[in-house]
Structure 1
Amino acid sequence: MFACARQAPDAVRGGERTSSVSVVVLKGARLIDGEGGPPIEDATLVIEGETIRAVGPSSDVAVPDSAQVIDVRGKSVLPGLVVNHAHLGVVDGTQSGSGHYTRDNVARQARQYEVYGVTTVTSLGFNTALFPSLQEEFNAGAPRGADLLGADRGLGVPSAAPPVNVGEDQLYRPRTPEEARAAVRETASRRPALVKIWVDDFHGTLPTKMAPDVYAAIIYEAHQQKLRVAAHVYYLEDAKRLVRDGVDILAHGVRDRPVDEELVREMKARGTWYVPTLGLDETFYIFAEQPEWMRTPFFEHSVQPALAAWFADPAWRAKALGDAKALAENKASVAMNLRNLKTLHADGVSIGFGSDSGATPLRIPGFAEHRELELMVQAGLTPLAALTHATRDAAVLLKLQDRGTLAAGKRADFILVEGNPAVDIRDVHRIAGVWHRGRRVSGGVEEFTP
């Protein structure tokens, strides 16, 4: 944390500005800077253009005479959430699959993420040729919405994983190592942030998994192309082999068995990242169970009308809970995922952040990330640890040095909330405003209609 105020080069000093860019000051906030330390109870942020120019205890930060000063006493400020695993353009309402990757649909989702405090989102597969232009527009701040990173199409298994009906231009399904290497080289020509592979058989519901020689070829060729690989996994043995073969990111949690010392040792030795996506299996049943939080504005304003109609339908709820075997398996997967996250966090494995939001209609952009934070705390992490994984660490995973923490010289991407999420993680839902690239881009989620 800050022992004293920090200022970027050419910062505001002595009540004077060093540039003509407008300066905005947030004064009196409880500062959660993303580094994991205790909050500063009375802090000031000086924002010049898109950048944090000074931040620290209010007693140590000079406020320029010409600045716009916003009194935020009683509120907390924390970095914008950075998401390592989501999907854009796959769903719309209750529909999913081919045909939804349109400019309007992707823009709607990017805006929903932003309103819910996600200022950077990684679309981990299923991206079309439209993605690079959308990425350029959103990352330049033209339309309002989260910054976008992507994993191009991704590589799956013929007639198996992933069981998603997307277009041929949204997914490769190589049959041989040679086809896999060619797909990676074509992917590399578009310079994505990551390469995505789907390895497992989705709880035994698919006829086969990706062959080890195929995913080994993908990992090798991706590394030759200076790209990192994120793998969709479920089983411990798959995770261990992938890590030995050099995969860079396990993009889901291990959910069949407790993680063991071998996996921990190999991940730490190789610097492999772990993104648990705790809420993934929960979505299969939680909405049918109708928890109290489904009747809050924070949840309701994230749900498209067609999906809300599903949730209100007793027949849909009965069907979702009707398969006792599947229900038990999904709840067991959630419990194992929580257990394994606690173990890996305690053992010092690098943890990222994501919820697989946007992959199905039930994984709701923005809301799913907030639910993920709650589940991380339920797993046994402190609220500050969960927030650190969702901000600083998620940015480090993506090699983004300009965001993820609130420090001088970083981008001014942050969320202002009521209450103290360092004590109660649910307070992060109480959004009073979102700033992105130094601009206030939204207020409370109640102002938003999906």
Structure 2
Amino acid sequence: MAAITAIDDVRVFRGDGLTAPRRVFVDGGEIVADGIPDVVVAGAGKFLLPGLIDSHVHTLGRDDLANLARSGVTTGLDMATWPLPFVTEMRAQAGVAQIRSATTPAVGPGGNHAKMPGFPADGIVTTPQEAHAFVERRIADGADYIKIVTEAAPPEGMDQTTVNAVVEAAHERGLLVVAHSITTGAFRVAVEAGVDISTHAPLDAVLDDDTVVRMRDAGMVSSPTLTMMKGIAGARAGAGLKYEYARDTVTKFHEAGIRLLVGTDANSAPGVPFAPRHGTSFHAELELMVEAGLTPVEALRGATTLTARTFGLDDRGAIEPGRRADLVLVRADPTADITATRAIDGVWIAGERVR
């Protein structure tokens, strides 16, 4: 029989602020309303967050998931990983962050992604007629959402009609669509197609007001991955790419009321222009989001409850009875100072404490 754990006298993040000191019970893998504890964790003067959710990672092995867990990131939304047997293996890992995955993304025939060594041929979509088959393959793979790359026009990227067709096919099957867009032009393609979530922020200019308004009116969500954008701009200095464009675009999103999620593009792939480290980069991302204009509470919401709600992760993202016991205990108040998320005192994944 699983032991019942109580975290005593702790203030709990509820999405809009903190509760008064209270006791939180964990029984097995779930948060429960009460119980007789076998283990009591001292929480006085500490703060309890739902397990953090990184809305954009790439998974190359168990070590990536272990690094996420050690930093309090208990769920990673993988935005492109293959082949399928590897994805299946990573989904089954215990004691580390749990992933959801897009499996193989949809890309154009001549862009950077299509040129990656080992990129699956069935991820290259060249015509609207191929869009339905692509989505059906991803459903067969068990993809949790569809990822598409919007980039330069053909012959590098997919044309607008093909992007539209991928989005339409995914929506017909009830799947969210996440679009990789790092230029203003790529954002416009994604907005025109009606994607649900944009990931990254433009480095070539601040996104124009009309496109921002269209995003807001369509209910689009953004995961800007400022950590990655800052790294790419630094690595490609002199190419006309500026981190400030990405940051100021996020400020515009925030002012417009566009929902903002916390994501890093963490990856450990060789040869990439920048590789945010799994886990530790999440705390840097929180800090960059606050620098872009979010309050600490808004950033924490985008790291927990809002991401869970956006991606339909109904079993996590909040500290309530019946939810999965993914928890992060920190020693200082992150609603007052976002850097406090780094002061981790304990992490639980499905009720098991990460050692």
Distance 1:88 1:324, change over 3 A: closer
2:3 to 15, 22, 47: 22
Q: Would you say the 8 A contact 2:286–2:299 is kept in 1? A: yes
Counterpart of 2:262 in structure 1 is: 353
Structure 1 stretch displaced more, 254-263 or 21-30? 254-263
Deviations 1:144-186 (A, max 9, x none): 2111110011111223132662314386122222233322222
Distance 1:420 1:157 in 2: 45
Q: Which has the larger radius of gyration?
A: 1
For 1:134, the equivalent position in structure 2 comes to 89
Q: Which amino acid aligns with 2:172?
A: Q
Aligned match of 2:47: 76
Retained in 2: the 8 A contact 1:85–1:124? yes
Q: Which moved more, 1:385-394 or 1:190-199?
A: 190-199
Q: CA deviation at 1:243?
A: 2.0
Match of 1:244 among 175, 192, 200: 192
The equivalent position to 1:120 in structure 2, one of 64, 75, 83, is 75
Kindly provide the CA deviation profile for residues 242-289 of structure 1, in whole angstroms up to 9, marking residues without a partner as x. Answer: 223221111122343333443343323322211111111222476xxx
2:159 is aligned, of 211, 214, 234, to 211
The alpha-carbon distance between structure 1 residues 195 and 65, as it changes in their structure 2 partners (threshold 3 A), is closer
Looking at structure 2, the residues matched to 392 and 373 of structure 1 have their Cα atoms a distance apart, in angstroms, of 14
Q: Distance in 1 between matches of 2:161 and 2:233?
A: 36
Find the partner of 1:339 among 223, 248, 254.
248
What is the CA-CA distance between 1:380 and the residue it aligns to? 1.6
Tell me, which stretches of 5 or more residues in structure 2 are unaligned?
A: none
Separation in 1, partners of 2:141, 2:237: 45
Residue by residue, what CA displacement relative to the aligned partner does 1:169-226 show, whole Å, maximum 9, x if unpaired? Answer: 386122222233322222222231111111124xx9x973321122112112222232
Query: Match of 1:253, as an amino acid?
Result: A
Are the aligned partners of 1:172 and 1:183 in contact in 2 as well (CA < 8 Å)? yes
Q: Is the 8 A contact 2:248 2:292 kept in 1?
A: yes
Name the structure 2 match of 1:418: 331
* 2:22 is equivalent to residue 43 of structure 1: yes
Gaps of 5+ in 1: 1-19, 55-61, 90-105, 287-319, 443-450
CA spacing shift, 1:66–1:419, aligned 2, 3 Å = closer
Q: Quick check: 1:145 aligned with 2:115?
A: no
Segments ≥4 residues shifted beyond 6 Å: none
Distance 2:115 2:44 in 1: 47
Q: 1:342 to 1:378 in 2, by over 3 A?
A: same
Q: Partner of 2:144 in structure 1?
A: 193
Contact 1:28/1:44, CA 8 A, preserved across alignment: yes
Aligned alpha-carbon RMSD (Å): 2.4
State the identity as a percent.
Answer: 28
Looking at structure 2, the residues matched to 113 and 170 of structure 1 have their Cα atoms a distance apart, in angstroms, of 30
1:254 and 2:220 equivalent?
A: no
Give the AA of the match of 1:352.
L
Post-superposition Cα deviations, 1:57-78, rounded to whole Å, max 9, x if no partner, equal xxxxx6x445422112122211
Map 1:18-417 onto structure 2 (within 5 A).
21-33=2-14, 35-37=15-17, 39-54=18-33, 64-89=35-60, 106-138=61-93, 143-162=94-113, 165-169=116-120, 172-201=123-152, 208-284=156-232, 324-326=237-239, 329-330=240-241, 332=242, 334-358=243-267, 360=272, 362-417=275-330
* Matched residue type, 2:301: T
Taking the aligned partners of 2:86 and 2:121, their CA distance within structure 1 comes to 11
My pick for the range that moved more, 359-368 or 242-251, is: 359-368
Q: Which residue type is aligned with residue 25 of structure 2?
A: V
Q: State the partner residue of 1:448.
A: none
Rounded to whole Å, the distance in 1 between the matches of 2:47 and 2:78 is 29
> Matched residue of 2:289: which SS?
helix
Letter in 2 for 1:377: V
Partner of 1:315: none
Q: Distance in 1 between matches of 2:331 and 2:346?
A: 10
The worse-fitting range, judged by mean Cα deviation, of 177-186 and 80-89 is: 177-186
Q: Deviations over 1:72-116 (max 9, x none)?
A: 212221111112211112xxxxxxxxxxxxxxxx11111111111
Compute the displacement of 1:390 (Å): 0.8
Output the CA distance in 1 between the equivalents of 2:337 and 2:174: 41
Query: TM-score, normalised to structure 1's length?
Result: 0.72
Kept in 1: contact 2:58–2:81 (CA 8 A) = yes
Task: Sort the Cα spacing of 1:212 and 1:421 in 2 relative to 1 into closer, same or farther, 3 A.
Answer: same
Give the number of aligned pairs. 351
Map 1:431-442 to 2 at 5 A: 431-442=344-355
Q: Distance in 2 between matches of 1:170 and 1:30?
A: 50
